Structure 1
């Protein structure tokens, strides 16, 4: 058993599970704030009931988002101790600030919101909902500052220390506003808003189909569809486009894998569909738009886009060997040789550099990247269509009676999570083998004294515990759906679902 592979699987599992609740928490935080705002502006009872109802949904997502995130922080020290030693002085402060300020703000005001919305004036609930959204957004900000720096490091120097080479900041603000941070943050937060909007719209659609809580349901569907339509367009442009342009400039191997581009091309096409043949290093049955990739990546229809091999050469020779951020040649030699040895390459081998290029080239699963990227983009395009169609039906006064469209909203509710997971897997798997681009690979960052058996045992334990937690979460979601929002005065459809006996029959 390989401890590196098992540690990667464990972190992928915990991160992917955590991401079920993060976008829902952030997105629902935004939607709850909008609902409380509508309640304050209109002073209509259905908006107030909708705001209270979806505040409970926010609480359910928040409760499971917290512990699953904490587990990941422990894994940095347990499974990836060498990585933590190398970049701990840079990666640590954003995590500390996230806990001290963002999480404290969010957790305080979500308590005020959930336990005070029946006891305190509505204006207090509005303020609480505002600070919950701000807190969750700031929490995402600090985490993504750390993540984006790992993807595109800036404002640092690699020095020799008693613990070995370490990266240290030279300018905190330049590191915070690294080239990827703004586009990655806006793209990620906006994807969470899409998830929140979809939840609100789909739950409202469910009640309309069941002819329950109709007044609250109409409010939920209307605001959810409008937010979905706007945010799904923003997800494509400008946030998605800008993040793609940064990746094209700083992470050429990731771009090549996303597009299945094995050979360097000028005026490279954007492939809509294809079948990746990794053995023969080609994409078969490819259907593409001529020159579009070059234009999207570099703003030039005839720009050169590096194929996977040339991109790997560029990363190794330009971003690693010619990295200007080494304190001296001794540190550079130590870091480079450490990377080579960790990947089974003798630094004294005359072909050591060529072999490292092969490592970089072969570390990225091109087929996985190619398909995952198209799942993300395809679902994003679908959200634009659904949101646009929903707004059209709303303007025509047909939204609430279009049962086929309401069913589409309900049946496609899981898709925002699939899109988000596909996006994150593309983002993270695409930087392999780097944990920190150009400095730390998974082989050099893994803990030296953790056995594969230990990782396997904890991995099995996580699967068991997370399965139980997911079941508990589903139980509370079903309970919320069954109970529904508080009745609006004068709405005859505002009644809970009939109780179901243990034998499955209605009582």
Structure 2
């Protein structure tokens, strides 16, 4: 393999592994906020038990997410030096904003979230939880803005020529609100809510099957199911908006996602299939002219196909883009079905009566993670051969001095370390889940601490 393919594989490995954790942090943060708000409103100690338990899992997820995210920034400099020079001013603005507006907020409240139990009032602790969640949301904003700028550049001009060329920001807000950033951000946020909600659903469905922590698990399951239902239905809207944006701004990517080649014909929408790129054929189950209707609201309107573009400007792995996109869509529809079924059973008063449904929901924890990964793969592979769409080709973005042997060595090393980290994460997560929420009575230590302070002051 050449340096480009190896470097792409290495970056895909590190990004894919890292992307397990931030969506979980965002999704868990939202439901932790709901747990603590419910505790403040009702005074029911079971909500505090849930908040304490899931704070421990959030801390584990957050820690590994931070550690794995640092590696990618180094890769920009080692493997993608030309790219780093080209987008340095753009990414510098976005990543600086993440550090100032997001990470500082998140890390500033994190200590109170983790160690503030019985040291601050429930209201202050709720504010800290809210701050951590907002911080994780803002962090996603700036990362998605930076990535979306690569998909749909805006608010810039090019300075220099050849290897010295680089993009400079001319309009910061045009860069932030580039044509794809808002739609992609909402899609990422909702995917994160689904990841967190289904983790909570899975764990508490497991407890119900084992007849453990029955009451708190029923409460947590219902809250997470509501979040998952709203998020899964909302994902239909954000997904459609995002696809409309791709049709306008990256028509070659959209054509690859549906395996559409002929620009003179209306485009079918495939439920599933297989793309034969050499013969420009797709075999599978389809809705005739369905894509034309979704894009143009007209079944007979042609859609730009891959043959409309020069061969060097279309994705090299059309079938892979097609498969990843359809995996994401299929899982999205499955999540809607599972949550609607749960809502129906709840309405009938039989939500926890069917063992098979709880078993399905235990396994369903994997689905949002697979969908998130597949969606990113479809977006990034569909952008090829451009690393900055229409401006900088991936083949031109590499470091000029890195050799294939060096990339292989680091790839093997990263693979080993990440497998070790993932094993550690699963082990610790499993350990915390087996322990479960603390069943012992929650005794608020704040009044005792206040008495101790007053006694010390009197003695002094």
- TM over 0.5: same fold? yes
Q: What is the Cα deviation at residue 162 of structure 1?
A: 9.5
Trace 1:471-482 onto structure 2 (pairs within 5 A): 471-482=423-434
Question: Per-residue displacement from partner, 1:84-136 (whole Å, max 9, x unpaired)?
Answer: 11121112110122123211211221221111124322112211111111000
| SS of structure 2 residue aligned to 1:120 | coil
CA positional deviation for 1:222: 0.5
Who is 2:193 aligned against?
A: 193
1:155-213 superposed Cα distances (whole Å, 9 cap, x missing partner): 21112269622211221111110110110000001000001110111111111111111
Q: Secondary structure at the match of 1:430?
A: helix
Q: Which runs of 5+ in 2 are unaligned?
A: 443-460
- Provide the aligned C-alpha RMSD in A: 1.5
The 1-side partners of 2:241 and 2:333 are apart by: 17
Q: Matched residue of 2:165: which SS?
A: strand
Match of 1:410 in 2: 362
Q: How does 1:68-467 map to 2 (within 5 A)?
A: 68-160=68-160, 164-237=164-237, 239-284=238-283, 286-310=284-308, 312=309, 357-361=310-314, 363-467=315-419
Question: How many pairs align?
Answer: 442
Tell me the residue number matched to 1:323.
none
Residues 116/257 of structure 1: CA separation in 2 closer, same or farther (3 Å cut): same
Counterpart CA distance in 2 for 1:89 and 1:136 is 23
* Residues 215 and 488 in structure 1, CA contact (< 8 A), matched pair in contact too: no
Deviation string for 1:8-64 (max 9, x for gaps)? 000000000001111111111111111111111221111111111111111111010
Question: C-alpha separation between the residues in 1 aligned to 2:42 and 2:302?
Answer: 55
| Distance in 2 (alpha carbons) for counterparts of 1:12 and 1:243 | 22
Asked if the contact 2:259/2:275 (under 8 Å) is kept, the reply is: yes
| Cα deviations by residue, 1:408-433 (Å, 9 ceiling, x for unpaired) | 11022111111111011001111001
Structure-1 separation of matches of 2:423 and 2:396? 37
Q: Matched residues in 1 for 2:345 and 2:162: separation?
A: 66
Q: 2:438 aligns with which of 486, 489, 497?
A: 486
- Cα distance in 1, alignment partners of residues 390 and 162 from structure 2: 22
1 CA distance for matches of 2:235 and 2:367? 15
Unpaired runs of at least 5, structure 1: 313-356, 491-507
Distance 2:272 2:108 in 1: 47
Distance across 2 between alignment mates of 1:412 and 1:90 = 38
1:379-438 deviations in whole A, cap 9, x for unaligned?
Answer: 000000111111121222211222111111102211111111101100111100111001
SS of the aligned residue for 2:270 comes to strand
Separation (CA, whole Å) in 2 of partners of 1:232 and 1:251? 25
Cα distance between partner residues in 1 of 2:165 and 2:196: 43
CA distance in 1, matches of 2:196, 2:82: 37
Give distance in 2, aligned partners of 1:411 and 1:169.
46
Q: Is the 8 A contact 1:264 1:306 kept in 2?
A: yes
CA distance in 2: counterparts of 1:221 and 1:457, whole angstroms: 45
Q: Contact (CA 8 Å) 1:155, 1:170: kept in 2 or not?
A: yes
Q: TM-score by structure 2 length?
A: 0.93
In 2, Cα distance between equivalents of 1:489 and 1:90: 52
Shift in Å, 1:269: 2.0
Write the distance in 2 (CA, Å) between the matches of 1:299 and 1:110: 48
**1:180–1:243: 8 Å Cα contact kept in structure 2?**
yes
Instruction: Report the Cα distance in structure 1 between the residues aligned to 2:274 and 2:9, rounded to whole angstroms.
Output: 26
Aligned residues of 2:149 and 2:175 also touching (Cα < 8 A): yes
Provide the rounded CA distance (Å) in 2 between the counterparts of 1:282 and 1:24.
Answer: 38
Q: Does the 8 Å contact 1:200/1:221 carry over to 2?
A: yes
Looking at structure 2, the residues matched to 450 and 209 of structure 1 have their Cα atoms a distance apart, in angstroms, of 53
Separation in 1, partners of 2:440, 2:378: 45
Q: Find the aligned partners of 2:262 and 2:343 in 1 and give their Cα distance.
A: 43
Is the 8 Å Cα contact of residues 82 and 163 (structure 2) preserved in structure 1? Answer: no
Structure-2 residue corresponding to 1:27? 27
Structure 1's 118 and 397: CA in aligned 2 closer, same or farther, altered over 3 A? farther
